[in-house]
Structure 1
């Protein structure tokens, strides 16, 4: 058995002080420690790891229960990372946008991304179990307990401007979201061999011509473009506890809209920049009011 020295030996002629084992181990750890630039925007992306195997037992081409779990996980992430201005989800990935650093853990990249990936994994699975209990049909092919546990990897990085934040979301929406959507849609009608070599437009036309199904009519909006999750200010009726009078109060809620960001515009920039949706709404005007799952 080799016993590790608690201190490094002193080399003859060297004036370097002894280094304790703890200090030496921390030095190794520090070599991979990267700090984000807190004055620049940050993108945090969480991606389902090997989700194709996990989701193989679910309804094809799209299972709304998976999507609902992703959207609710976005709401939990926005609550846990309050500096984020927007969450965008499509397929098995989530993108969070921060305008001035994450403002957590001294902007230590590894600390933030590992915690976020673990947080995302646990909350997604919890929400999915709830969704399956509430909507058991259509049944999944295997018992959920026999499937591999879903988990996420993550990456985090600075971008130089808010415009690049928008471009990142545009890239995920117009690129991966559309590609994933068309591919899943077409594969529900044709085999991989039959679709080999076909581009997106050709796949869509092939399904329309041979199966009589129109892509944009058959696919739900969230599967076409993904969904935006964001805090918003809403007007609610309230009662003044002192006077008993009814009044309109403004409160913060987490809302979801089943659409992506598909164009570079002032309105799209506002969605990325503003802390809340850029307009005040009544609560009834939103399709999805999300309840945040608190963690303690």
Structure 2
């Protein structure tokens, strides 16, 4: 069999299950660290419940993913997860899910590993969202999940540091209301309202324009040029304020199309 015929016949098996995200559908990619509980608690012993060095590794990874070839207009991270919002018109790799997932999982794993100085791995999945409201709902969901996880984590690790074992701490928190958990922290010296916002609401990354002074060799004059860069926001709003924040990012992406 000639190579061209062999190549054609074999590629059928490689691409038989290729699925592409349809035009007009929003793409959000969610990545999660694989085995990060062991990585952060046993291998590298990061501070619990939150560690600023681990946070910085995650932020560096998100920034890299926003600059690695896809048209990502917003990146969000909380705990060991990352969510990336693509521009509605992004056509990278023909919008093939297989390519999007494999490339982003590889890029995230490589960047985080280099930042950490040790091996780490992410998985990836594509979320297909039919309209802008679902995009807003998605990020509101992750923002609220960050708040819930932060409250639980602060309570759990406070109990662990007081000498409770893992099972006892988990059992004590089981069935407790949000108000009860806040009171538990307060009675032990922590006002949850004063916990850093990035721990409670996650961290957002988005593009901003800025002016940079340059030099025009033809006119021999200094000139101002407009460039863009990734901005990291550690003080995200909450609830309806966060919904408006995401809506504004979507509006701006269409205006700059």
Q: Which interval holds the TM-score relative to the shorter structure? A: 0.7 to 0.9
Deviations 1:26-75 (A, max 9, x none): 33333321111133211111111221111112111111111111111111
Distance change in 2, residues 1:80/1:38 (3 Å)? farther
Distance change in 2, residues 1:273/1:77 (3 Å)? farther
Task: Report the alpha carbon displacement of residue 214 of structure 1 after superposing the two structures with TM.
Answer: 0.5
- Unaligned 5+ residue runs, structure 1? 1-5, 7-19, 130-144, 279-296
Task: Report the alpha carbon displacement of residue 100 of structure 1 after superposing the two structures with TM.
Answer: 2.0
Counting only pairs closer than 5 Å after superposition, residues 50-61 of structure 1 correspond to structure 2 as 50-56=35-41, 57-61=45-49
- Distance in structure 2 (CA, Å) of the matches to 1:238 and 1:170: 40
Is residue 256 from structure 1 mapped to residue 232 from structure 2 by the alignment?
A: yes
Specify the alignment match of 1:182 in structure 2: 151
- Distance in structure 2 (CA, Å) of the matches to 1:173 and 1:68: 18
Task: Report the alpha carbon displacement of residue 22 of structure 1 after superposing the two structures with TM.
Answer: 5.6
Q: Give secondary structure in 2 for the equivalent of 1:242.
A: coil
Maintained 8 Å contact 1:165/1:272: no
Specify the alignment match of 1:166 in structure 2: 136
Task: Report the alpha carbon displacement of residue 194 of structure 1 after superposing the two structures with TM.
Answer: 2.5
Structure with bigger gyration radius: 1
Specify the alignment match of 1:139 in structure 2: none
Q: List 4+ stretches of structure 1 deviating above 6 A.
A: none
Distance change in 2, residues 1:122/1:199 (3 Å)? farther
Task: Report the alpha carbon displacement of residue 256 of structure 1 after superposing the two structures with TM.
Answer: 0.4
Distance change in 2, residues 1:50/1:116 (3 Å)? same
Is residue 114 from structure 1 mapped to residue 102 from structure 2 by the alignment?
A: yes
Deviations 1:97-150 (A, max 9, x none): 123254211111011101111110110121223xxxxxxxxxxxxxxx6xxx32
Is residue 47 from structure 1 mapped to residue 24 from structure 2 by the alignment?
A: no
- The structure in which a higher percent of residues are helix is 2
Cα RMSD for the two superposed structures: 2.4
- Unaligned 5+ residue runs, structure 2? 160-168
